[in-house]
Structures are given as C-alpha cells and as structure tokens.
Structure 1
Amino acid sequence: MPHHVDAGLATTLKRVASTLKTADIPFALGGSFAVYAHGGHSSDHDVDFLLREQDKEQALKALAAVGFRTEQPPEDWLVKVYDEDRMVDLIHRPVETPVTDETLADTEVISVEAISMPVISATQLMIHKLLSYSQHYCDFATGFPVARSLREQIDWQRVRRETAGSPYAEAFLILLDRLDVVPSDRDEPDGEGG
C-alpha cells in the first residue's frame, strides 16, 4: 500500500479484518483501501468493509469484545465501529443492493498491510462508485483516479451493463471515453451492450 495511507487507519483496518477473520465472519474490504490494495489511487480515505446483513450483529459483537465502540446510525444500510476516533463502516447494502455470497465471491485475496484478506474486485469497486452518483451527490472527481489507476483491471463491459440504469454512470463513462481513459463501446464488436 502506498506510504501516504494514514498509519492509524491502516492499523484500525488490520484490527477489524483480523477480528472478523477470527470470528469466521465472511467479509470483503471495499472503498478507498480496496482501491489502494489493487494498486490504485483514491481521493477518499475511508475504511469500508462489506458484509452480509445476517452477519451484522455478530460482527458488532465481535468488534465490541475487542474494544471497538459500535454505532447504529440512522441510515439502515450500514453500521459503524470506532477505534478511538477512527471510524470504520461495515456496509451490508451498498448502492441499494444487498451484499450476498456472490458479492463476497467477487473478490481477490490480497495482502493488505501484511494481513491477507478478500478485497472487492476492481470491477465491482467501479460499479459501486458509479452507482453512488445521484442528483444529490455527483462528484466525478472521486471516480477519475479510480478509473485511471485501475482501468486495466476493470471489466468495462460489465461496468456498462450493471450501471445501464443510471444516467450519472452513463455520463461518467462518456467522459472516460472522451478523455481517452477507456475505449468506448463503439470500439468493441458487440457495441449494443445489454
């Protein structure tokens, strides 16, 4: 991982991952640390783990047992844990889609800060990033470093297919094409993806 990652957050990430592993709770690293784990760049500095909703309570219990402060925020798609003042999001429904066994299978085991853990695939990260854009939050600047730094690892046809319902994702993909970050559909034999 690049050296500019906050050392405190990296330690917290390791504590959460090893606690979840010890408790046998299936999880995957998501968010900006997953981008770093794939060798990419992200403008965010958040620690996100994905887990299934049915494992949420057990995860909170396991983390509380090792000294994390737990919080059930008003949003119903995640829970939060704190290591002193460092926050970790445990997300069970990113972008309105529940985390399933399938989500957790779409991962790569990578050594992050010397602990091997499942990390969400670059393709899935890009899909989550694009589906997070809405009329209330549409900061494309957060997506560009991810797209540029991970583009070779991303299945762009799948990204197009899985974000087809979102006009924000479509606009972002047009920008990537115009900026020559990724080849457009027009260069691929089956131009009509879907």
Structure 2
Amino acid sequence: MGLVEAGLDPKTKAFYQRTLAVLNEAGPPFLVGGAYALTKHAGIERHTKDLDVFIRRADRDPMLRALEAAGYQTEATFPHWLAKAYEDDAFIDLIYSSGNGVSEVDDEWFAHAADGEVMGVPVKLCPAEEMIWSKAFIQERERFDGADVAHLIRSRGRGLDWERLLRRFGDKWRILFGHLVTFGFIYPAERDCIPPWVLKRLAARLSEELECQPPPEPAKVCFGTLLSREQYLPDIGLWGYRDARLEPIGSMSPEAVAHWTAAIAGKA
C-alpha cells in the first residue's frame, strides 16, 4: 500500500472500492485524478482522504442515478462543475469542469488517459496535459497548485503533447507562460524539459502584445477571478472590472458565480 492510501481506514477504503465498482457498472466512462494521477505522472505520493472522479458533463446525471440506486446520497454541489456522492462520512467528487468554468472535461481527456490502479481496481487516470491545464489556474491564498505543475513538467515535460497543451490554454496562454518561466527558475538543470520552440512561441506572442495599445475602458476585464474566487472580489466589486468568469467572456452565469462565491466562507 502506497502513501496515497496509507491514511485511509478500512471502512473508507472499502467505500472507495465499492464506489469504483458501481461506477464501472454504471456504464459512462470516468477518470481518476487527484493524488492517484499525480503519483502516476510525477512519482509523488501524498495522503488523500477523497477520490476525484472526472466525467463528461452529459454523464453527470446518469452517474448520480446509478449511485443513488446503489444507496448513496448525491447532490449537484456546484452545478457548473462538481457533484458529490456520500455514504456516512465518506464521499467522492464527480468533476466535469473547474471552479472557474475553464477546464471542461471533454473527449480528449479520455482519448489521452493513462492506465492505472486505485486500491486494486484498474482505472483510467487523467492525462498529464489536462492536469497541468486545470492546476495552472489554482492560485488561491490557501491553495496554490504551481508546485504540482512544476513537478508534472519535470517528470513528463520531454514527452508532453505541447501542441495540445498550448491549444488548451488558448488565449489564456500567459498563465502557461508564467508557469514555464518559473519552472526554469525552480529547476535550472532541467530547463530542457520544455522544448525551446514552446518558450519562443509564447515569447513572440508577448512581444506582439507589447506593440499593441491597451484595450479601451469598456473592455476593462479582470481575469484574476479565473485564478482565485476570493482574492479579486475587490476588483469586480469596488473598481468596476468585468468578471472574466461571466458570459460572454467566460462560461459561467451570474447565479453560478454567486453560488461559488457564497461557498468561500466554508471553503467548499
């Protein structure tokens, strides 16, 4: 038994094993992420007391119905990205997007999934590229996933599908560029994990932007809310910036943003 499962009591471990069996019987495909996928891709093991299951949004309700039929309590905790299934004190997260609405789980997650094993059950694990994409935006005061991004690049950088990763970030490429520049600071001897053409392409984009005029006042947007649901509230509440999470810039509705913001107090 590895460190990932070392903190699990037998009852909780049995819950997760049974849950994986139920999900396999349910039919729709799923991936396991979190500490299990990080161990696979980066070789880092750390305690976990939860199980992150990634699914397509369209498969959420069938999955929840299958879990309910098996005796679990379920809820669409944050309908824009996450649901949960409970049994006593144990639970799993069913994830189909990200809290900021950016990293939607789509067919490519499954097409590039890795083989793995969780508590003796063969499973598919989230791809390293999609893990980097989703983790790169997690920059809260109480949680910053930059170290996970760096560890994934250190372990997988030479074999990553960099074209796909660049496409994932799209017009949010500055977030990836920032992590890549920081990687070279963290690991001076491992800078060749990142192909030179990737940094040159992103540096060229930056150079092009420097030649452009800043957007006019009506386009005043704060993208910080994609990095932290809490730390940039003054920007949109006091200083008049538009919230980049909201449609049509982002994918979230005002109701989803309000629900996600209200949960800050409990850090759910």
**TM interval, short-chain normalised:** 0.7 to 0.9
1:175 aligns with 2:182: yes
1:31 aligns with 2:34: yes
Cα deviation 1:4-50 (Å, max 9, x = unaligned): 43324554433322211111121111222221244622668342111
Q: Percent identity?
A: 24
1:116 is matched with 122
Farther-moved stretch of structure 1 (97-106 vs 27-36): 97-106
Farther-moved stretch of structure 1 (96-105 vs 45-54): 96-105
1:3 aligns with 2:3: yes
* Equivalent pair of 2:42/2:152 in contact (CA under 8 Å): no
1:52 is matched with 56
Gaps of 5+ in 2: 206-268
Cα deviation 1:119-172 (Å, max 9, x = unaligned): 111222122211344799645345444444555554455434533514343222
What is the SS of the residue equivalent to 2:178? helix
Q: Distance in 1 between matches of 2:143 and 2:174?
A: 13
Farther-moved stretch of structure 1 (75-84 vs 130-139): 130-139
* Equivalent pair of 2:55/2:105 in contact (CA under 8 Å): yes
Q: Distance in 2 between matches of 1:179 and 1:7?
A: 33
- Counterparts of 1:80-99 in structure 2, within 5 Å, are 80-94=84-98, 95-99=101-105
* Equivalent pair of 1:92/1:98 in contact (CA under 8 Å): yes
1:113–1:52 CA distance, 2 compared to 1 (3 A)? same
Give the C-alpha shift of residue 114 in structure 1.
Answer: 1.6
Aligned alpha-carbon RMSD (Å): 3.3
2:248 is matched with none
TM-score scaled by length of structure 2: 0.59
What is the SS of the residue equivalent to 1:87? strand
2:211 is matched with none
More helix by share: 2
Higher relative contact order (CA closer than 8 Å, sequence separation 6+)? 1
Give the C-alpha shift of residue 186 in structure 1.
Answer: 6.7
Match of 2:18 among 15, 18, 24: 15
1:191 is matched with 200
